[in-house]
Structure 1
Amino acid sequence: MTEQFDDKKTRASAWFRSLRDEIVAAFEALEEAQQSGPFAEAPAGRFEVTETRREAGDGGGGLMSVMRGGRVFEKVGVNVSTVYGTLGRKAQAAMAARKGLEGMEDDPRFWASGISLVAHMQNPHTPAVHLNTRMFWTPHGWWFGGGTDLNPCLPYDDDTEAFHAVLKEHCDRHDLSHYPRFKAWADEYFYVPHRHRARGVGGIFYDDLNSGDWEADFAFTQDVGRAFLPAYLPLVEDRRDTAWSHEDRAAQLAHRGLYAEYNLLYDRGTKFGLETGHDPDAVLMSMPPLASWP
């Protein structure tokens, strides 16, 4: 099983990198196009790119691309990584329990590749957003996962509907049951239990996807990535020049506090990245530049 997946691993890793390149170019183009508003006189934002490495295990790494203090984006990170090694005892137990696997302790090797994006915006009326897609392999099986969700501090029903409509369109190309199922999964997953509320207005989320047809699952995961820019860019273009007040900024910082709580306490990707020795700066790239709490 190891050898027959070498080509599939290469293809998946290359796809996540190509999606990263497309998104980085689109976001830098947004910065160039922004000619009005309180940050228009600032230099157009550019991503700073850093190579990342695992601190433990056999190896791997990726690229951490972060833009700070732009005209449109206050902070946005677009990371890609491909890592491999052996899972620790805690990770083995968690994976075996969640996926119903046996024999993890006998061969705990793993390989994982994916893209992770979080954008925090200058204008409080422009929604923050998250995207993640990934492939995970062990000698005991392979899985895809990920999703995207919208996180406005000042929600607009039109934005929510437009965002979800694009996601539904891309999901429906593969299976009409995908969108309702993965939307419900996102509503459950992106929920902050101790605050008794969602962290945003939802999107889609899926994990442990293995239909038995790798090509079909990979094609679906690619379409989740392709949906991102047409779902999100029109919202940014519509809201980036909306006038905002000190009260709006306060609401934005408070919402970012909620986002930070979720990522540190509940996000599965954050926990996995730190537990498997990946670069902590890359893992915590999703944290907002500023936030507030009562």
Structure 2
Amino acid sequence: MSDDFLTEKQQASAWFRQLRDEIVAAFEGLETSHSKGPLTNEPAGTFDVTETRRGSDDGSDAGGGLMSVMRGGRVFEKVGVNVSTVYGTLGEAAQASMMARTGLDGMADDPRFWASGISLVAHMQNPHVPAVHMNTRMFWTPHAWWFGGGSDLNPCIEYAEDTAHFHSVQQAHLDPHGADLYPKLKDWADEYFYIPHRGRARGVGGIFMDDRCTGDWQADFALTQDIGRAFLPAFVPLVEKRRVQDWSEADKDAQLIHRGLYAEYNLVYDRGTKFGLATGHDANAVLMSLPPMAKWV
């Protein structure tokens, strides 16, 4: 395996782009197939796609990606699917954070990094359809590499059977990698997606991992791929089931208040948001996770 992991980087970056393409196609398919229930007379939504570039202090190429956003569709009020591959050198604050998390030394001597991943957040028109988040990523430095990510469900109106379906699909994709993995990543998600100042979780959980490096790159990459593969079968059936339901003003009000929780978490606690802004990535792409409308009481 080469020192710079060139082949592995290419494989990871290509996979995240492939997953992005599959999700974008599936979501546009949900828009065009919506023929019963609210908003069926509205135009089907499509994604607006914008190239993004990461800024660098010296003006050199630092990578970028694609920001794909759909607004005001029949099913999706706002959904963003971002994919990026960025590289350069970590600043002092990012170096310190990385060393504190991983226990690595030497970042100051060689602060190069490379990162690639996909990030998705969907806010729905119908309050009965849950919002959802998914991301997977690979991070490399000359000192080590890691994978991370997961997905979690964020309904404002909870249905126990929807939560059970979402989790069962995640477990089915993780069990081939070890029977102990799903319970571990489920607990990790419950801890990570918790809002301390509200004393509650932001949703009904899912799976999450970070800084995963077992020493077997292929095994960790395969796990990361299966986390991505689990997303559509876990989420799309819930959309198809709930998008036909009518909603009330009270339902919409509950949705807007719940979105406030989502905004608070992403702005105050989310590690990906902090990293993206700190390393100079396109701010609009980093903040695409924020809902189009929210409400605080």
Report the TM-score, using the length of structure 2 for normalisation. 0.98
Deviation at 1:177, TM superposition (A): 1.1
Cα deviation, 1:186-218, whole Å, max 9, x if unaligned, reads 000000000000000000000000000000000
Cα deviation, 1:2-34, whole Å, max 9, x if unaligned, reads 645000000000000000000000000000000
Match of 2:223 among 220, 225, 228: 220
Structure 2: unaligned runs, 5 residues or longer: none
- The answer to whether the Cα contact below 8 Å between 2:193 and 2:201 also exists between their aligned partners in 1 is yes
Please provide the CA RMSD for this pair.
Answer: 0.9
Cα deviation, 1:73-103, whole Å, max 9, x if unaligned, reads 0000000000000000000000001000000
Letter in 1 for 2:133: H
Q: In the aligned structure 2, how far is the partner of 1:160 from the partner of 1:151?
A: 10
Q: In the aligned structure 2, how far is the partner of 1:10 from the partner of 1:231?
A: 27
- The answer to whether the Cα contact below 8 Å between 1:79 and 1:115 also exists between their aligned partners in 2 is yes
Residue equivalent to 2:9 = 9
Q: In the aligned structure 2, how far is the partner of 1:98 from the partner of 1:3?
A: 22
Is 1:102 matched up with 2:116? Answer: no
Cα deviation, 1:98-120, whole Å, max 9, x if unaligned, reads 00000000000000000000000
Q: In the aligned structure 2, how far is the partner of 1:4 from the partner of 1:109?
A: 10
Residue equivalent to 2:249 = 246
Matches within 5 A, 1:139-158: 139-158=142-161
- The answer to whether the Cα contact below 8 Å between 2:194 and 2:201 also exists between their aligned partners in 1 is yes
- The answer to whether the Cα contact below 8 Å between 1:80 and 1:114 also exists between their aligned partners in 2 is yes
Residue equivalent to 1:30 = 30
Matches within 5 A, 1:1-294: 3-56=3-56, 58=60, 59-294=62-297
Deviation at 1:56, TM superposition (A): 2.3
The percentage of aligned residue pairs carrying the same residue is 71
- The answer to whether the Cα contact below 8 Å between 2:4 and 2:142 also exists between their aligned partners in 1 is no
Structure 1: unaligned runs, 5 residues or longer: none
Cα deviation, 1:208-232, whole Å, max 9, x if unaligned, reads 0000000000000000000000000
Q: In the aligned structure 2, how far is the partner of 1:2 from the partner of 1:54?
A: 26
SS at match of 2:7: helix
Deviation at 1:164, TM superposition (A): 0.1
Cα deviation, 1:126-162, whole Å, max 9, x if unaligned, reads 0000000000000000000000000000010000000
Alignment length (residue pairs): 294
Structure 1 stretches of 4+ with a deviation exceeding 2 A read 1-4
- The answer to whether the Cα contact below 8 Å between 1:56 and 1:278 also exists between their aligned partners in 2 is no
Q: In the aligned structure 2, how far is the partner of 1:2 from the partner of 1:126?
A: 46
Q: In the aligned structure 2, how far is the partner of 1:175 from the partner of 1:290?
A: 40
- The answer to whether the Cα contact below 8 Å between 2:173 and 2:227 also exists between their aligned partners in 1 is yes
